[in-house]
Amino acid sequence: MSLVNQLIAAIFAVLIGLVSGTLYIMSESSRSMLQDQLESHAQDSATHLGLYLGPYMAENDSATVETAVNAIFDSGFYHRIIVTNADQGILFEKKAPTNSNDNVPSWFQNMVVITPPSMNREVTYQWRQVGKIYVQSSAGYAYDKLWKGAQDSIILFVSLSIVCLLAISSLIRYLLSPLNRVEKQAIALSEKHYIEQEKLPGTRELKRVVEAMNKMVRQVKGMFEEQTRNIEELRRNAYQDSLTGLSNQRATEAQLAERLDYRKDFGRGTLLNIHLINLQAINQEIGMDKTNNLLKHLATLLEDVSSRSDQSVLGRITGADFVLLINNTNLDQLKICLENIDSESRKLLEQFTNTEVTQPIISVGSCECSDISNSNQLLSEARIASDNAANEKTVWKQYCSTDNNPIAPEQSDWKQHVANAINQRKIFLQVQSVFSKSPSSMPIQDEIFARILDRDKKAASAGEFINLVKELGLMSEMDKAVIELALEKAEAATCPLTINLSHETINSESFLHWITSQLKGKRLTGKVMFELDETSVLNNISRIAEFRKTLQELGIGFGVDHFGVHPSGFSYLYSVQPDYIKIDGSLIREIDQNDEDKFFVSSLIGVAHSLGIKAYAEHVERETQLQLLGTLEIDGSQGYLHGSPKALD
């Protein structure tokens, strides 16, 4: 029960006690007064009868006595009248059958007992005593008056009590409204939402409570922001190039290995090695500051190209070399884009040198990648092509090799096969489990991987068909197909099925309504969860927060995949509040061999736990990784150490 309701109940109990005591006192007072009135009434009646009946009592005229007594007894105000002669013989006696009132409840009469006294009067006539008259009034009249008075008092009390309770309730709620806001602050703080009360109450005690709560909220918020800043600083030092802000060599190579060697879901794309020609000579000619500006400008131009791809990797691997992995394989478009970058860079260099630059200042080597590509091999091929472009004094050179490209099925045939598989819901589902930390090591979720069976009924990797799906505009349709198939399997699943969503799907205007209709009315708590890539979350935080709220209302979990590598940081956790995060495999790959990775992952786990979010690790392949993650308080792990993906039964 709330404090307000408890106070109202206490006040109501006090009012009941007060009115009960008041009614008792009033009843006793009224009863005593009515008892005195009955006594006086009986005495007066005996006196009046004695004056009238004296001569008849002297003659023992019982007939006249009876007539006179009946005349006043029929009024109903008497219980008993007795007339005796001088020898105490009864001349006449009349008694009413009961001393109660039928209009008054019996419980009231039993509770308030009124016993009218019997009054008597000696009657004399011609100086001698001729007898006595005994009169006892009826209590029915007194009960009637007392009952009506009690009814009026109760009605008045109830009416006044209702009015008082409403007034007191409103007053108490108004006075204690700051406490309600403090309660909301406390609840919000437990959910890592930082709310301050701007309006302070006038009551001194409540004002101090609100000020103390506001101070605590600011301190907790400041602690989280400081923790975030420290980890961001660590990220910049360990994984970002200090000049351009892009990923440094180590982070870039780790991300390329994660996408191309481990996950193999990038599909067909292009890896570019962008080399700034004669960097040392340029530095000597225009100075370090201008050279740095030239490099920053080149990085900005490359970031613009990278942003056009929904799954790109961009970084600076040496002083003069940048690497860009994009899923654009249109060579004509790439050539135009790269020539524009060279042209813009030359213009800036001409401003610095005040001389015309006629030769390209960047050389770009490119090579195509597929689901079977090796990141180290691709980097070598791109560097070779870049060196060839520099030697030939051209901007761009494509690496040519028939050894690296698999023999792909006829493109139009394969495209039609992929489209049919999606439209007919012929999608093969595999799962890989996330295991809890030791010693239990039990599966806590099964992440679903969508596969399409080729003509030999073998599961094709995501890289073999994902680009075609995007080209056909069927990503949303494919995600819906996976959701429908997963929901069919969810009821029999031993642990929650986790469904990955693409950014195309989550950005679809109709998806939220569709998924709500699919999930509503079904008991899916602990059966199904959804997760999104960190980049997709950061690209549309408001829509993701709305989606997250919808899932919460339906009792369904939500997580962020590939967490910790996006340069924008992780402050979005505050607004999205996922149930769990999966730390990207590029940060886990060398965690047992690199102290920077260890410290950074430990910090990410700490941030997640401070927000009440579980942290899982991806790409766990060695026992030493798992043991170290256990010491870092990881909540779960996923990778080939626990087993490769298997078919969803």
User: In percent, how much of the chain has pLDDT > 70?
Assistant: 96
Q: Provide CB contacts within 8 A for 564, sequence distance 6+.
A: 534, 570, 581, 583, 584, 587, 600, 601, 604
pLDDT above 90 for 558: yes
pLDDT above 50 for 404: no
When pLDDT is averaged across residues 123-148 and rounded to a whole number, the result is: 83
pLDDT in tens, 151-201: 887 788 778 878 887 888 788 777 777 777 777 777 777 666 777 787 787
Alpha-carbon distances, residue 284 vs 344, 357, 602 (angstroms): 21, 16, 42
Here the tokens at position 422 are 């999606």
Question: What per-residue confidence (pLDDT) applies to 191?
Answer: 63
Q: Give the total residue count for the chain.
A: 649
* Whether 115 contacts 140, CB under 8 Å: no
Q: Provide CB contacts within 8 A for 23, sequence distance 6+.
A: 150, 153, 154, 157
200-204, 256-260, 638-642: least confident range: 200-204
Q: How far apart are the first and last CA of the chain?
A: 49
Return the closest-CA partner of residue 272 out of 381, 359, 361, 374: 381
When pLDDT is averaged across residues 33-61 and rounded to a whole number, the result is: 83
Q: What domains can be seen in the chain, in order of their start residue?
A: 3-172 (3.30.110.200), 180-194+201-232 (no CATH), 249-398 (3.30.70.270), 411-647 (3.20.20.450)
Q: Provide CB contacts within 8 A for 325, sequence distance 6+.
A: 256, 259, 260, 266, 269, 270, 271, 272, 312, 313, 314, 369
Please report where in the chains the tokens 């490769």 appear, as a residue. 644
The rounded distance, in Å, linking the Cα atoms of 505 and 511 is 7
**Considering Cα of 232, then 234, then 238, then 244, what sign does the dihedral take?**
positive
Question: What per-residue confidence (pLDDT) applies to 406?
Answer: 45
18-22, 117-121, 253-257, 485-489: least confident range: 18-22
Kindly report the CA angle at 445 between 443 and 449, in degrees rounded to 5? 120
Of 77-81, 303-307, 321-325, 518-522, where does the model show the most confidence? 321-325
The rounded distance, in Å, linking the Cα atoms of 629 and 589 is 12
When pLDDT is averaged across residues 471-497 and rounded to a whole number, the result is: 90
Return the closest-CA partner of residue 338 out of 281, 280, 398: 398
pLDDT above 60 for 408: no
The rounded distance, in Å, linking the Cα atoms of 646 and 649 is 9
pLDDT above 50 for 407: no
Q: Provide CB contacts within 8 A for 628, sequence distance 6+.
A: 591, 592, 598
The rounded distance, in Å, linking the Cα atoms of 606 and 230 is 12
pLDDT in tens, 203-254: 777 788 888 888 888 887 787 777 777 877 877 888 889 899 899 998 899 8
pLDDT in tens, 468-483: 888 888 899 999 999 9
Here the tokens at position 543 are 């829509």
pLDDT above 70 for 402: no
Q: What is the residue type of 645? A: P
Q: What are the b/e assignments for 537-556, b being 16+ CB within 10 Å?
A: bbbeeebbeebbebbeebeb
Strands (E), 138-279: 269-276
Return the closest-CA partner of residue 471 out of 412, 526, 517: 412
pLDDT band at 405 (very low <50, low <70, confident <90, very high): very low
Task: Report the mean per-residue pLDDT for the chain.
Answer: 85
Question: What per-residue confidence (pLDDT) applies to 575?
Answer: 80
The rounded distance, in Å, linking the Cα atoms of 144 and 157 is 20
* Whether 505 contacts 476, CB under 8 Å: yes
- H/E run at residue 421: helix 411-423
The rounded distance, in Å, linking the Cα atoms of 460 and 170 is 68
Q: Higher confidence at residue 435 or residue 572?
A: 435
pLDDT above 80 for 273: yes
Identify the bridge partners of residue 499 per DSSP, sorted by sequence position: 530
When pLDDT is averaged across residues 90-96 and rounded to a whole number, the result is: 84
Identify the bridge partners of residue 526 per DSSP, sorted by sequence position: none
* Whether 323 contacts 313, CB under 8 Å: yes
* Whether 543 contacts 515, CB under 8 Å: no
**Considering Cα of 572, then 574, then 579, then 585, what sign does the dihedral take?**
positive
Return the closest-CA partner of residue 620 out of 414, 382, 437: 437
SS3 at position 295: helix
Q: Higher confidence at residue 94 or residue 29?
A: 94
Whole-structure pTM value: 0.67
Q: Higher confidence at residue 78 or residue 404?
A: 78
* Whether 84 contacts 121, CB under 8 Å: no
Cα within 13 Å of Cα(88), Cβ side: 0
Question: What per-residue confidence (pLDDT) applies to 288?
Answer: 92
* Whether 40 contacts 119, CB under 8 Å: no
Q: What are phi and psi of 90, to 5 degrees?
A: -80, 120
Q: What is the residue type of 455? A: R
Question: What per-residue confidence (pLDDT) applies to 401?
Answer: 64
The rounded distance, in Å, linking the Cα atoms of 39 and 494 is 89
Q: What is the largest CA-CA distance in the chain?
A: 163
User: DSSP secondary-structure letter at 326?
Assistant: E
pLDDT above 60 for 403: no
The rounded distance, in Å, linking the Cα atoms of 562 and 604 is 12
pLDDT above 50 for 279: yes
Question: What per-residue confidence (pLDDT) applies to 98?
Answer: 65
Question: What per-residue confidence (pLDDT) applies to 441?
Answer: 81
Q: How far is CA 594 from the centre of its chain?
A: 37
The rounded distance, in Å, linking the Cα atoms of 529 and 527 is 7
When pLDDT is averaged across residues 512-520 and rounded to a whole number, the result is: 90
pLDDT above 70 for 285: yes
Sheet containing 269-276: give its strands across: 313-316, 321-326, 269-276, 362-369, 396-398
